[in-house]
Amino acid sequence: MGGHAAGEVASARVIECLEKVAPVSPIERYVDEVVNALETANRSLRKEAARRGVGTIGSTVAVLLLSERRGACVWAGDSRIYHLRRGELLRLTRDHSLVQDYVESGLLDPQEAEDSPWAHVITRAVGVDDEVNPEVHYFEIETGDRTLLCSDGLYREISDPEIAELLAPGTVREAVDALQALVLQRPARDNSTVIVVEAGSPA
């Protein structure tokens, strides 16, 4: 989280807690385990911030879970998860941000949101409040689907049509490289994280 202390500590703590979660079925139970892990990370970071005498040590999080032909997104903050099927790009997550709240309440036009001075103000993250309350979205998976997890350093520089165009061709490695290369051709105002997952044929 930009502007706050020890972001690397927060993200490492989130990863540490998530790594302890073993895949389970059905996927709803898997989601419950991940949510519990995020709440554990949240409590730990709140204690760490108090120990250091700083206001907040926090991190956004976006988790993709896959079980057979179903997927689930679990997230808090403004990192995003997109889903591409036969060239059609769909954003699966909703930003937990002040401008998104303004857009949904009709106070701000969606086209104005990206350039708003409040664009980086998030309303939910791990380590910020006493509870994380991550949001969850379930979706179906087909062979060949691609899912993109990314930070705002990517989508603030590249439009959704550009993401769809670069995400579709080649291997997942080539898609990642193409997306990152385009970010670096732009102002690249923030760090960008890009992960691409492709659904294979059922075993």
Tell me the per-residue pLDDT of 16-29, one tens digit each, with 9 for 90 and over: 999 999 999 999 99
User: Would 107 be classed as within a structural domain?
Assistant: no
Residues 9 and 60 in one domain: yes
What range does the domain containing 18 cover?
1-77+124-141
Token pair, residue 198, equals 């492709």
User: Would 102 be classed as within a structural domain?
Assistant: no
Residues 73 and 12 in one domain: yes
More confident residue, 100 or 141: 141
Cβ proximity of 83 and 150 under 8 Å: no
Q: Indicate the pTM of the whole model.
A: 0.90
pLDDT for 103: 80
Residues 184 and 198 in one domain: yes
pLDDT (average), residues 44-69: 90
User: Longest C-alpha distance within the chain, in Å?
Assistant: 51
User: Would 18 be classed as within a structural domain?
Assistant: yes
User: Would 103 be classed as within a structural domain?
Assistant: no
Cβ proximity of 41 and 17 under 8 Å: yes
pLDDT for 189: 75
User: Would 203 be classed as within a structural domain?
Assistant: yes
Domain count, the chain: 2
Q: Which of 110, 118, 104, 136 is nearest to 32 (CA)?
A: 136
